[in-house]
Amino acid sequence: MTSETITAAASGTWRLGDLTVHRIGFGAMRLTGSGAFDVGTPSDRERVIGVLRRAVELGVNHIDTASFYFSSLRSANELINRALGPYPDGLVITTKVGPGRDPSGAWYWATPDQLRGQVEENLRQLGRDHLDVVNLRLKGPGPIAEHFGALAELREAGLIRHLGISNARPEHLAEAQAVAPVVCVQNRYSIDSRRPEADAFLRTCGEQGVAFVPFFAIAGAGREDGASAAEHPEILAVAEAHGATPAQVRLAWTLQRGPHVLAIPGTGNPDHLTANLAAAALQLTPPELTTLDTLAPA
Digit-coded pLDDT (tens) for 237-295: 999 999 999 999 999 999 999 999 999 999 999 999 999 999 999 999 999 999 999 99
Asked if residue 98 has pLDDT above 60, the reply is: yes
Is residue 189 flagged as an active site residue?
no
| Structural domains of the chain, ranges and CATH numbers in brackets | 8-293 (3.20.20.100)
Asked if residue 21 has pLDDT above 60, the reply is: yes
Asked if residue 226 has pLDDT above 60, the reply is: no
Q: What are phi and psi of 13, to 5 degrees?
A: -130, 165
CB 182 within 8 A of CB 164: yes
Cα separation, 24 vs 280, whole angstroms: 7
Cα separation, 290 vs 38, whole angstroms: 37
Single out the catalytic residue among 69, 87, 108, 189.
Answer: 69
CA-closest candidate to residue 150, choices 107, 117, 102, 126 = 117
Lowest mean pLDDT among 92-101, 121-130, 196-205, 219-228: 219-228
Q: What is the pLDDT of residue 194?
A: 86
Q: What is the pLDDT of residue 42?
A: 54
CB 80 within 8 A of CB 91: no
Q: What is the pLDDT of residue 71?
A: 81
Q: What is the pLDDT of residue 223?
A: 43
Q: How many CB atoms lie within 10 A of CB 217?
A: 27
CA-closest candidate to residue 62, choices 26, 31, 87 = 26
CA-closest candidate to residue 134, choices 155, 110, 156 = 155
Q: What are phi and psi of 235, to 5 degrees?
A: -70, -40
Calculate the average pLDDT of the chain: 91
| pLDDT confidence bin for 2, thresholds 50/70/90 | low
- Share above pLDDT 70 across residues of the chain, in percent, rounded to a whole number: 91
- Share above pLDDT 90 across residues of the chain, in percent, rounded to a whole number: 81
Residue type, 239: A
Q: What is the pLDDT of residue 39?
A: 43
Digit-coded pLDDT (tens) for 39-59: 445 568 899 999 999 999 999
| pLDDT confidence bin for 36, thresholds 50/70/90 | very low
| pLDDT confidence bin for 137, thresholds 50/70/90 | very high
Digit-coded pLDDT (tens) for 56-72: 999 999 999 999 998 87
Give the per-residue SS3 of the chain: CCCCCCCHHHHCEEEECCEEEECECEECHHHHCCCCCCCCCCCCHHHHHHHHHHHHHCCCCEEECCCCCECCCCEHHHHHHHHHCCCCCCCEEEEEECEEECCCCCEEECCHHHHHHHHHHHHHHHCCCCEEEEEEECCCCCCCHHHHHHHHHHHHCCCEEEEEEECCCHHHHHHHHCCCCCCEEEEECCCCCCCCCHHHHHHHHHHCCCEEEEECCCCHHHHHHCCCCCCCHHHHHHHHHHCCCHHHHHHHHHHCCCCCECECCCCCCHHHHHHHHHHHHCCCCHHHHHHHHCCCCC
